[in-house]
């Protein structure tokens, strides 16, 4: 297999600027992951407009966002272990054994073991991504409008597994996103739709406005509403270096869970929470002979941590090769590419090898940086758990407004962002998830344009959607995907864990 793209990617990722950007991303990501309230998607939403306005080239922006993404998967474990509150969705299962360990005065060891497991999972995931991505992208040239449309159908079919528990609300959220995507200049007929003669709406609702409104503003309102109760943070005391015997016991679980995590990550629409739940239950069945899982078993800690980090890497596979986001976070990253006028899709690998290679190379480097950051500096990160909301909420609001205004230089955009934030907050109170809205919005325009183009080619004959092999395979996969959540959902339910929003 030709891995030339990866070596070229390393020369991109190792340039001083990108190395510094990658480090910044990893550091911020760990912080963001450690904070219980905000996950990687909020962090990415906040930093994207800033990176864009600073004039960073697309590969640097992607390296920054990817650093935040994988950094947050590392950071999420800190609050799970010390606070028994998962820092992000993927770290839910980490608390099951991590927090009991910390209560036994072994917090330092727990953090180290989980840090090592994260590294194993993250690195194996990237290795998988390296070999998997070029394979899928060889399909590129066969993709015409009809195939793209079916690909989008496939992407939407995967939505069911994204939230799972409330399929109707997921569908409604997705339709809201689709509807929002119709605002603005219609790319086929050139007509303005739903703009109310307001020129600023001519290009539709800007992606940054929607993302920041839905994720940052509504999150800030949520935090104001539910004041976090401080005080139960467990101090990192005792020995900080794990016992060698414990590390050896974790090798098997970490390797198995990495494979599970990566596989789940590759399937579009299934996030880190599913992966860590599946790996935890698998490991419990395989190795828990003494019944110590849930009471502070290091293996129960290593398994979900390895899995959620491998998932993050796996989620890049459909995003980079097909342009189908595997999670809410990768949906935002796709939107970031579009902000740079880069159309994600099967042709991306051929057209922008430096972008993809640089991103993948930065993931290798990022995992090493994160291991270095997370072992000695874990006490520093544990401090942010005490950061009070009266610092955090105004900080988020200021960053949001500055971000939107600097990207679009328009007061209307800021007002719209705030309005969308309030609506998002209401929807979340009603139990809606924000990720399907973003997915509907990102994919909706692509889907509509390609359907209309396919029909323009065939002169209105619907059979064009079923003609090529690629289309037929995609239709079958879409049908399978729609059924998959029931299977995975049953597996995840055995873990009997409440799953918060998808990250």
Partner 1 sequence: MKTILVNALALGFAGLMAGAAVAAPEKTECLAGAKPGGGFDLTCRLAGNSLLAARLIDKPMPVTYMEGGVGAIAYNHVVGKRSSDPTLITAASSGSALLLAQGKFGQYDESAVRWVGALGADYGVIVVAADAPYKSLKDLVEAYGKAPGDFPIGGGGAVGSQDWMKGALVAKSAGQDPKKMRYVALEGGGAVLTALEGGHIKIAAGDAAEMAKHHAAGKVRILAVMSPERLPGELKDVATAREQGLDIDWVVWRGFYVGKNITDAQYQDWVDTFRKLSETPEFAQEREARGLYPYTVLGADFERDVKKDVERFKALAAEAGL
411 makes contact with partner 1 (CB under 8 A):
no
Task: Provide the minimum distance between the beta carbon of 331 and partner 1 in the complex, in angstroms, as a whole number.
Answer: 19
CA 350 to chain centroid: 24
Nearer to partner 1, 348 or 434 (CB): 348
Nearer to partner 1, 169 or 452 (CB): 452
- Interacting span for partner 1 (CB under 8 A) from 17-25, 150-158, 198-206, 486-494: 198-206
**Quick one: which of 3, 17, 104, 203 contacts partner 1 (CB under 8 A)?**
203
Angle at 261 between CA 81 and CA 69, to 5 degrees: 65
Task: Provide the minimum distance between the beta carbon of 139 and partner 1 in the complex, in angstroms, as a whole number.
Answer: 12
456 makes contact with partner 1 (CB under 8 A):
yes
Angle at 311 between CA 308 and CA 315, to 5 degrees: 145
Task: Provide the minimum distance between the beta carbon of 6 and partner 1 in the complex, in angstroms, as a whole number.
Answer: 24
* Pairing mode of beta strands 192-193, 184-185: antiparallel
Task: Output Rg (C-alpha) for the chain, integer angstroms.
Answer: 22
Nearer to partner 1, 260 or 446 (CB): 446
354 makes contact with partner 1 (CB under 8 A):
no
3-state SS string for 124-178? HHHHHHHHHHHHHHCCHHHCCHHHHHHHHHHHHHCHHHHHCCCHHHHHHHHHHHH
141 makes contact with partner 1 (CB under 8 A):
yes
- 233-237 long-range Cβ contacts below 8 angstroms, 24+ apart: 233/82, 233/83, 233/382, 233/385, 233/386, 234/81, 234/82, 234/83, 234/102, 234/103, 234/107, 235/107, 236/82, 236/107, 236/108, 236/111, 236/378, 236/379, 236/382, 237/105, 237/107, 237/108
Task: Provide the minimum distance between the beta carbon of 353 and partner 1 in the complex, in angstroms, as a whole number.
Answer: 15
- Interacting span for partner 1 (CB under 8 A) from 105-113, 140-148, 320-328, 376-384: 140-148
Task: Provide the minimum distance between the beta carbon of 15 and partner 1 in the complex, in angstroms, as a whole number.
Answer: 21
139 makes contact with partner 1 (CB under 8 A):
no
50 makes contact with partner 1 (CB under 8 A):
no
452 makes contact with partner 1 (CB under 8 A):
yes
3-state SS string for 165-228? CCHHHHHHHHHHHHHHHCCEECCCCCCEECCCCCHHHCCCCCHHHHHHHHHHHHHHHHHHHCCC
Residues in contact with partner 1, total (CB under 8 A)?
30
459 makes contact with partner 1 (CB under 8 A):
yes
**Quick one: which of 77, 256, 284, 408 contacts partner 1 (CB under 8 A)?**
408
Binding mask 326-345 for partner 1 (x = CB under 8 A): ---------------x-x--
On whether the CB atoms of residues 323 and 346 are closer than 8 A, the answer is yes
How long, in residues, is the chain?
A: 503
76 makes contact with partner 1 (CB under 8 A):
no
415 makes contact with partner 1 (CB under 8 A):
no
Restricting to residues 85-124, which ones interact with partner 1 according to CB under 8 A?
Answer: none
Task: Classify the phi-psi angles of 204: left when phi > 0, otherwise alpha if psi is within -120 to 50, otherwise beta.
Answer: left
Task: Provide the minimum distance between the beta carbon of 202 and partner 1 in the complex, in angstroms, as a whole number.
Answer: 3
User: Distance (Å, rounded) from C-alpha 421 to C-alpha 208?
Assistant: 12
Nearer to partner 1, 103 or 452 (CB): 452
467 makes contact with partner 1 (CB under 8 A):
no
Using CB under 8 A, list all residues that contact partner 1.
55, 141-145, 185-190, 192, 197, 199-200, 202-203, 341, 343, 347, 351, 408-409, 449, 452-453, 456-457, 459
């Amino acid at each position: 297999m030709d891995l030339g793209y990866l070596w070229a990617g390393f020369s991109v990722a190792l340039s001083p600027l990108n190395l510094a950007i990658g480090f910044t991303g990893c550091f911020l990501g760990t912080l963001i992951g450690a904070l219980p309230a905000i996950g990687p998607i909020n962090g990415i939403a906040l930093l994207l407009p800033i990176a864009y306005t600073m004039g960073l080239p697309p590969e640097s922006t992607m390296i920054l966002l990817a650093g935040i993404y994988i950094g947050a998967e590392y950071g999420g474990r800190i609050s799970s272990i010390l606070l028994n509150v998962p820092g992000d969705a993927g770290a839910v299962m980490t608390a099951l054994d991590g927090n009991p360990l910390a209560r036994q005065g072994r917090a330092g060891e727990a953090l180290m073991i989980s840090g090592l497991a994260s590294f194993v999972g993250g690195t194996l995931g990237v290795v998988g991504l390296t070999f998997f991505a070029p394979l899928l992208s060889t399909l590129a040239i066969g993709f015409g409008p009809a195939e793209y449309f079916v690909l989008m159908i496939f992407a939407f079919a995967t939505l069911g597994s994204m939230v799972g528990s409330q399929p109707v609300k997921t569908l409604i959220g997705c339709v809201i996103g689709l509807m929002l995507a119709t605002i603005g200049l219609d790319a086929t007929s050139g007509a303005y739709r739903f703009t109310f003669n307001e020129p600023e709406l001519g290009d539709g609702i800007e992606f940054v406005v929607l993302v920041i409104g839905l994720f940052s503003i509504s999150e800030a309102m949520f935090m104001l509403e539910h004041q976090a109760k401080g005080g139960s943070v467990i101090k990192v005391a005792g020995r900080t270096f794990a016992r060698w015997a414990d590390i050896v016991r974790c090798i098997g679980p970490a390797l198995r869970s990495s494979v599970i995590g990566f596989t789940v990550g590759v399937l579009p629409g299934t996030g880190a929470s599913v992966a860590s739940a599946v790996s935890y239950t698998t490991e419990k069945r395989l190795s828990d002979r003494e019944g110590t899982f849930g009471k502070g078993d290091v293996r129960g800690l290593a398994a979900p941590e390895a899995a959620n980090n491998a998932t993050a890497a796996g989620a890049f596979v459909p995003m980079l090769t097909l342009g189908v986001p595997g999670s809410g976070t990768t949906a935002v990253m796709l939107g970031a590419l579009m902000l740079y006028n880069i159309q994600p899709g099967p042709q991306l690998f051929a057209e922008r090898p430096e972008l993809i290679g640089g991103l993948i190379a930065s993931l290798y480097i990022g995992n090493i940086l994160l291991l270095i950051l997370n072992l000695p500096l874990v006490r520093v990160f544990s401090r942010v758990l005490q950061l009070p909301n009266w610092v955090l909420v105004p900080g988020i609001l200021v960053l949001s407004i500055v971000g939107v205004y600097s990207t679009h230089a328009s007061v209307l955009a800021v007002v719209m962002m705030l309005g969308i934030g309030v609506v998002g907050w209401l929807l979340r109170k009603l139990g809606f998830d924000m990720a399907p809205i973003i997915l509907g919005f990102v994919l909706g325009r692509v889907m509509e344009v390609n359907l209309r183009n396919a029909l323009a080619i065939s002169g209105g004959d619907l059979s064009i959607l079923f003609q090529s092999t690629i289309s037929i395979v995609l239709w079958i996969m879409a049908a399978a995907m729609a059924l998959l959540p029931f299977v995975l959902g049953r597996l995840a339910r055995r873990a009997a864990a409440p799953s918060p929003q998808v990250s």
